[in-house]
Structures are given as C-alpha cells and as structure tokens.
Structure 1
Amino acid sequence: MIFSARRATRVAGRQRPVAFSDESGLAAVEFALVAPVFIMLLFGIVIFGIHFGTWLAVNQAAAEGARASVAGMDLDERRELATSTAEAVLAAYGPILGDTGWTVDAKASDSDPRLFEVTVTYDQAARNAASGLQGDSGDDDSLIVLPLSNPTATATVANGGY
C-alpha cells in the first residue's frame, strides 16, 4: 500500500496572511454577540427581584397588621391598629413600593365574627415598567414580559381575650 502524505512545510520568514491573523476586533465582536443576552438576563433578574420583594412586603404588611390588631379592645381600635401597622410596614419598603399605591382593608371576618381579617393590596400596574411597553390595543408583543398582577395578601387572627 502506497501512502503519500503531503507535509506542510514552513519556510523561515513566511507568515500567514494578515487578514487571517489580525485579532484586534475579536473582543468587540464577542461582546456584541454576548452582551444583549447578558443584559436581558440581568434585567430579568432585577425585575423578578422587585416583583418578589413586592409580594414579600404585601404579605409581611398583612401579617403584621393582623398581629397588631389583637391588642385592640373593640372593632374600631383593631381596625386602626391594623391599618396603621400595615401602612408603616409598607412605608418601610419605600424604595421598592413608593409612597402610595396600596390599600389596607381591616375588618371582622365575613365567615366568623370571632375572627379579624387584614387584606393588603398593592397596585403594581401603575409603577410597573411593563405598562409602558404594551401597545394601546393591549397586545403584549414586547420583548420583555413583566408581571402586571396586583399582589394581595390576607391574614386572619382570632380576636384577643378568648
């Protein structure tokens, strides 16, 4: 069997053509390919973190409001304690929630008068960046889809004293 292999020989002093060896723009091309995906991922993480933080704030406000209402002697005092405590908790989340946009509903339970309910709702759609990305027709054809739901949490406690 005859085997013929052509060996590439390199002659001293010869170089590859400049067009194949120039790597000066390689980093810029790689960055242009990777950066959009990385930036979208980064914004997705931030947006999800803000949305998750909003849900945690609403749940904590409802729980703290219900816990504070136990000290009230009558329904009006329970309502006042629950509302002021829940609003104080929500105000502490100022960088995430802003100064307004939430409602606190504190009342005796509809199903059992021995229970007291605190419901906190946050109107997230007004502060959400997704509301500006959607068209007038309501179609969501944007590249980034953000949650537009309004977080709501209800906490129920028994009236104190029995």
Structure 2
Amino acid sequence: MRVLRGERGASAVEFALIVPLLVLLVFGIVEFGRGFQVHGTLSAAAREGVRMMALQNDPAAARATVRSVASSLDPALTDAQIVITPARCPTTTGSTLVRLRIDYDMPFLTGLFGSSVDMTGTGVMRCGG
C-alpha cells in the first residue's frame, strides 16, 4: 500500500511535462500546412500573372490577375510586391523571357515561431506565348 502512495500523481506530472511539447508540435504542423498552402497560392498566382503578361504584354492586367488569383492571402498583395522583368515584352517575338516574382511576408497564425516569414512565388514564360 505504501508503494502505491509514493507513485500517486506521477501520471499528472508526466502529462504536464509532455503536453507543452505536443501543443508545440500541433502548432508547428498547422503553421507548416498554412505555409505550404500559401506557397502553392503564390506559385499559381505568379504562373497566371506571367501568362497574362506574356500573351497581352500588359503589366496592369498581369498584376490584376495576380491579385485575383491570390485574393485569399491576408494581407492582400500590393503592386510593390509584384515584380515583372522586363517591364514590357519586346515587340519582336523571339526567345525573350518575362519573369514575374511575388514577394510575400506571410504572418504566422500563432506567433510562437516569430512574427512572419518571407515567401516568394516565381513564374517565367517566353514573350508571345
């Protein structure tokens, strides 16, 4: 009987030691999943934006397409975050490539791992399609 009394509360102490690690693991999984989703959104938006730029040679339309595809991101994208090089496709079609890069500062949901992380989406296409 005395041996059992000596172990009373041991499982509560073990539980208290393990719970913070499990919570941290769950939050890490949530943040990684969200980061993976944001990266996919940025890649899709860059791909659609560069396609629009390559076909229509209109930077404003390309930026609008990027913002439309990436509308689920919070905060929303600004023109300063969408970089198109060269600014316009040359009038002669050839092997000139247009590149669209999106720079996004993804805020963390929990704040346990910092405030944010820089993410980038890039699309490249030959001018003229």
| Cα distance in 2, alignment partners of residues 85 and 148 from structure 1 | 25
Higher relative contact order, structure no. (Cα contacts within 8 Å, ≥ 6 residues apart): 2
Q: Does the 8 A contact of 1:101 with 1:123 survive in 2?
A: no
Higher strand fraction: Structure 1 or Structure 2?
Answer: 2
| Cα distance in 2, alignment partners of residues 61 and 34 from structure 1 | 41
- Structure 1: give runs of 5+ residues left out of the alignment: 1-15, 133-143
Equivalent residue runs for 1:123-134 within 5 Å: 123-124=105-106, 127-128=107-108
Aligned in 2, Cα 1:157/1:147: closer, same or farther, shift over 3 Å? farther
* Greater Cα radius of gyration, structure 1 or 2: 1
| Cα distance in 1, alignment partners of residues 74 and 127 from structure 2 | 32
Q: Deviations over 1:23-73 (max 9, x none)?
A: 76454233212111111111111122222322222222111111233331x
Q: Give TM-score scaled by structure 1 length.
A: 0.59
Which of 75, 86, 92 aligns to 1:108? It is 86
Aligned in 2, Cα 1:123/1:101: closer, same or farther, shift over 3 Å? farther
Q: Does the 8 A contact of 1:109 with 1:115 survive in 2?
A: no
Secondary structure class of the residue paired with 2:76:
coil
Q: Give TM-score scaled by structure 2 length.
A: 0.70
| Cα distance in 2, alignment partners of residues 98 and 27 from structure 1 | 42
1:152 aligned residue: 120
1:85 aligned residue: 65
Which of 98, 102, 105 aligns to 2:74? It is 98
Higher helix fraction: Structure 1 or Structure 2?
Answer: 2
CA root-mean-square deviation: 3.1
| Cα distance in 2, alignment partners of residues 40 and 86 from structure 1 | 34
Q: Letter of the aligned partner of 2:84 in structure 1?
A: A
- Structure 2: give runs of 5+ residues left out of the alignment: 91-95
1:41 aligned residue: 25
Q: Deviations over 1:84-140 (max 9, x none)?
A: 11111110xx2xx31425522234379x8432221111123xx3468x7xxxxxxxx
Aligned residues: 122
Equivalent residue runs for 1:10-89 within 5 Å: 16-17=1-2, 20-21=4-5, 25-72=9-56, 75=57, 77=58, 79-89=59-69
